[in-house]
Structure 1
Amino acid sequence: MLLNDLSQTVKVLFLGGKGGVGKTSTASAVALHRARTGGRVLLVSTDPAHNIGHLWERKIGDEIVTLFDAASNAGGAGAVDADASQGRLDAVEVDPQRTVAAHVREVGETLRSMMPEHLHRQVDEHLRMAEESPGTHESALLERIAELVEDSLEDYDLIVFDTAPSGHTARLMALPETMTVWTEGLLARRDKAERFGAAVRALDRDDDPVTQRDRRIRAVLTRRRIRFEHLRDVLRDDRRCAFVVVLTPERLPVLESAELVKELESSGVRVGGLVVNRLSPADAGEYLAHRRAQELAHVDSLRELLPQLEVQTVPLLPGDLVGAEAVGRLADLYG
């Protein structure tokens, strides 16, 4: 099946789509399924309205916590394969405010190192306003995603991202290329400024304060460029990364999903397939049978719009999907 195959073959799996279609439950279930078969998995929420903690009934924040450990079956999320004792599922909910604060703090340190002391107050005021400006949140969130991918790719067999609703995620997937080009431009301007400054001062001593400042700035920019380049390369590597669009079998989610696929592919991101959630049962009365027929017509429309992509359907499950046992039952569907 689609999600099972992808979870076994790629290193980074993004799940996105329209709000309210079951992205969090799908991301949690596929992550748990991979962990139960012996994988070390990191589940990451980038949606400002985090739901992983609510789904698992656990306190989850910006620091990594373990949701499931196959060695002890900690988490109570169902049976594991006999040879899967190394499986583990960790999770983190990216805190946008903390991410932005750290991002702005680092920028502030860089700016203050460039400015005379009597201008530091103006720098702080500028940063205070910048913290609430458009684009700051997305830039900081992208850097946190890039950091998690860079730091965790070797430690985990799979990183699963539960993303924000469609429009936000489509913009985010296009940002690595933009940020890489922008950072390279800053570095090029730093090259010119440093060459001009060295010519004017006719020195380039290690103990010169201006030289030391320039090197600090260059180190920050170079680290960012490498990080964004790495994320961009991972996103564009079909062997390591895939994006799965999650939707429900209704007209508007189908149309919005087709648009999202188009935007993602134009950004160079591989779309690995589509997961249609909450398909009504055919044997639970006339009303649901009629609804299922209508839903299947929407699934057919989806296949006509996106014939190149595999579609996996997931049935509507009874009861509320809350707690580790419920996530475990959903994960059984991906086995």
Structure 2
Amino acid sequence: MYPSFSPNNIHTQFLFLTGKGGVGKTSTACATAVALADSGKKVLLISTDPASNLQDVFGIELTSSPKAVPTVKNLFASNIDPESSAKAYRESVVGPYRDKFLESVIATMEEQLSGACTVEIAAFDEFTSFLTNSEIVKQYDHIIFDTAPTGHTLRLLQLPTAWNGFLEESTHGASCLGPLSGLADKKDLYSSAVSVLSNPTETTLILVTRPDVSALLEADRASKELKEIGIKNQMLIVNGLLQNHNEEDKISSAFYNRQKDALKQMPENLKEAIAYSLPYVSYSLTGVENLRSLFKPYEVPTTELNIENQSNNLPGLQAIINDFSANKTKLIFTMGKGGVGKTTIASAIAVGLVEKGHRVHLTTTDPAAHLDYQFQSNKLNQNLTISSINPKVEVEKYKAEVIAKSSKDLDEAGLAYLKEDLESPCTEEIAVFQAFAEVVARTENEIVVIDTAPTGHTLLLLDASESYSKEIARSTGGEVPDNAKRLLPQIRNPKETAIVIVTLAEATPVLEASRLQDDLRRAKINPKWWVINQSLSATNTNDPILKSKAMVEKEWINEANEKLAEKCALIPWLHEEMVGYEKLKSFVR
């Protein structure tokens, strides 16, 4: 369908890879770097991804300074830790005020600077030096960045108001960035970096995706955002494409057909990009020889053809439902990154509890989730009610409220900044939080299952607003609605509320789920269950590639079960979608 990707397709000095977690950005970046270095080019590979396993891939310790990879001539690597960068950035902003403000105010300032956007700004600050330092640039034929900045972050940095201290005085809500005063002396440097990014003779943006709908939608969103600010030299790599399938194996056929159907739904914008593919491989993409194999025709090693299926002793979904039923849990959240199957798991938990005789209300805040589709408009059990919260509607309503409150005090430039700042991911979480607080408030006699919840960072922002609104009137225009105030302690109460983290048995989804759990624990919320969804190791597939891939899953299943989760359940990869009440009922069994 697509020609195989080759490093010969690269014609610019700078390469930026972007895509949703788990699509294979790091392995694609590493394999490309190795291939270019093998061809005689001097290459620098830089990761700014907090989930990056660059050190594991090459088997060496890395820092923010370039280091030669001993097993690959001409290849140098650097691993920028964005969390450490963000910590240093936070201290540079907050430090000067520690002796001037109350401890409670300092705590709130630090939380303002704990969001995803701050981490990204700090990472961008680090790799700007690689883009604009002529001494570094002239040393290398190619500089490859594993993870590109989002369009939202780059637009913020291009707004003049971002540099005039506006945020120090801002009293609106939702900002993930906090004060930008710490970057005021770098305006020209950032401007130069954005110029390099948008120059098609210098930079190629590689959109990495999997052949599944959610990954394609994320790649499309990133593509559009970055085109808006002039980064138009884009290339698409469809990673993990199953080349052949075993027609006698139900799992293999379904896997192949589901990929094919997803690609038929590719957004029109992505169809305009030059597209290549990389094969679905059974081996782990660590070690230089495995990386070199990625761009060669793939054959399953003969040692993998006779692998025996191994059973797992982890419980299934029924154990979770029995737990919630026995403990009279009133509020259940499913959380996790896009594409891990949160909506299906939330729907199945709701159906399982209804089948146990409970009254259940199921709602979603996930814009990609369609509960009407999930239930196929089937006649529902009378004990199940369903609603859907539209994030776009809630965000527009919230933004209108904030702008109305703040606009009288702002000039045109300040208003432009405010509008862009309200594009922050936290804006949606806060707006949606208020909306589902209303749903929870009116369903005291039912179990409420909510598909997608706010992060610990957003909850802490709301908590900060509740506690310190007189000193820093942020988060919801200075006012936290009463039902939201009641919901915060309810979410923290393990006798009433349970968080279910949904993930996949792969490196990036597990690492991201672990960070999500850490984030929630900062907000004094401890997830009760992890669900490892769509596991090939829990199927009886006889397809050699899929069986071999199932073996690779074991490491991440053990990591989640033994080190990360309080309780862990395993759900097999299913050869059909679980849509309709009856199928969800059988799924639970």
What's the TM-score, normalizing by structure 2? 0.41
RMSD (CA atoms): 3.3
Structure 2 residue corresponding to 1:153, chosen from 137, 144, 151:
137
Structure 2 residue runs of 5 or longer lacking an equivalent are 166-182, 298-589
SS in 1 for 2:266: helix
Structure 1 window deviating more from structure 2 (42-51 vs 18-27): it is 42-51
Once the 2 structures are TM-superposed, how far is the Cα of residue 292 of structure 1 from its aligned partner?
2.7
2:126 paired residue among 144, 149, 168:
144
Q: How does 1:8-23 map onto structure 2 within 5 Å?
A: 9-23=11-25
The change in CA–CA distance for 1:244 and 1:181 in structure 2 (over 3 A counts) is farther
Distance across 2 between alignment mates of 1:10 and 1:160:
10
Aligned mates of 2:9, 2:154 — CA distance in 1: 19
1:122 equivalent in structure 2: 100
Question: What is aligned with 1:315?
Answer: 279
1:100 matched residue in structure 2: 86
| Aligned mates of 2:271, 2:83 — CA distance in 1 | 40
Structure 1 match to 2:150? 169
- Structure 1 residue 282, shift from structure 2 partner: 1.6
For residue 189 of structure 2, the aligned residue among 222, 227, 249 is 227
In the aligned structure 2, how far is the partner of 1:13 from the partner of 1:63?
19
| 150 and 308 in structure 1: CA distance in 2 versus 1, 3 angstrom threshold | same
Question: Equivalent residues in 2 for 1:179-198 (5 A)?
Answer: 182-183=162-163, 185=164
Residue identity matched to 1:149: L
1:36 match: 38
Can you list the C-alpha shifts for 1:25-66, whole angstroms capped at 9, x where unaligned? 001111111111122211111111221112223222333222
Provide the secondary structure at the position in 2 that maps to 1:100: helix
Report how many residues are paired.
272
- What is the distance in 2 between the residues matched to 1:44 and 1:161? 5
1:325: Cα distance to partner?
A: 1.5
Q: Which has the higher contact order (CA 8 A, sep 6+)?
A: 1
Question: Over residues 227-281 of structure 1, what are the superposed CA-to-partner deviations in whole Å (9 max), with x where a residue is unaligned?
Answer: 1011110111111112111111112222222222112212322252111111113
Establish whether residue 328 from structure 1 lines up as the match of residue 292 from structure 2: yes
Partners of 2:106 and 2:119 in 1: CA distance: 13
- 2:217 and 2:122 map into 1 onto residues whose CA distance is 30
Q: Note the residue ranges of structure 1 that are not aligned, 5 or more in a row.
A: 68-73, 78-86, 113-118, 187-219
Secondary structure in structure 2 of the residue aligned to 1:243: strand
Letter of the structure 1 residue corresponding to residue 81 of structure 2: D
CA gap of 1:259–1:63, structure 2 versus 1, over 3 A, is same
User: Relative to 1, partners in 2 of residues 1:34 and 1:172: Cα closer, same or farther, differing over 3 Å?
Assistant: farther
Report which stretch shifted further, 286-295 or 312-321.
286-295
Q: Deviations over 1:8-29 (max 9, x none)?
A: x212111111111111100111
Amino acid at match of 2:62: I
Q: Tell me the CA shift for residue 94 of structure 1.
A: 1.1
Letter in 2 for 1:309: A
The equivalences for 1:22-101 within 5 A come to: 22-67=24-69, 74-75=70-71, 88-101=74-87
**One-letter amino acid matched to 1:307:** K
- Cα distance, 1:312 vs. partner? 0.6
Correspondence for 2:260 among 296, 305, 317: 296
Give, in whole Å, the separation in 1 of the partners of 2:138 and 2:109: 34
Contact 1:32 1:331 in 2 (8 A): no
CA separation of 1:50/1:297 partners in 2, compared to 1, >3 Å: closer, same or farther? same
Which one has the largest radius of gyration? 2
1:237-316 matches, within 5 Å, as: 237-282=199-244, 284=246, 286-287=248-249, 288=252, 291-302=255-266, 304-316=268-280
Q: Choose from 232, 236, 247 the match for 2:198.
A: 236
Q: 1:285 to 1:322 in 2, by over 3 A?
A: farther
TM-score normalized by the length of structure 1: 0.69
Q: Percent identity of the aligned residues?
A: 26
Q: Is the 8 A contact 2:50 2:83 kept in 1?
A: no
Q: Counting helix residues as a fraction of each chain, which structure ranks higher? A: 1
Mapped contact 1:35–1:89 kept (Cα < 8 A): yes
SS at 1:302 equivalent: coil
Give the deviation of 1:172 after TM superposition: 3.4
Matched AA of 2:35: H
- Does the 8 A contact of 2:16 with 2:205 survive in 1? yes
